[in-house]
Amino acid sequence: MEFQRGDKIEVFKKSPDEAWESYMDDFIGCHGFITDPDTTVNDPDALIEVSLEGKGTHRLPQDSLRRLDEQGRPL
Q: Tens of pLDDT along 1-47? A: 688 999 999 999 999 988 899 999 999 999 999 998 775 555 656 78
Q: How far apart are CA 11 and CA 64, in angstroms?
A: 6
Domain count along the chain: 1
Range of the domain at 43: 8-67
Residue 66 banded pLDDT, cuts 50, 70, 90: very high
Residue 55, pLDDT above cutoff 90: yes
Determine, yes or no, domain membership for 51: yes
Determine, yes or no, domain membership for 72: no
59 or 36: which leads in pLDDT: 59
Across residues 42-58, what is the average pLDDT? 85
Provide the 3-class DSSP secondary structure of residue 54.
coil
**Residue 55 CB partners (closer than 8 Å, separation 6+):** 26, 27, 30, 32
Determine, yes or no, domain membership for 30: yes
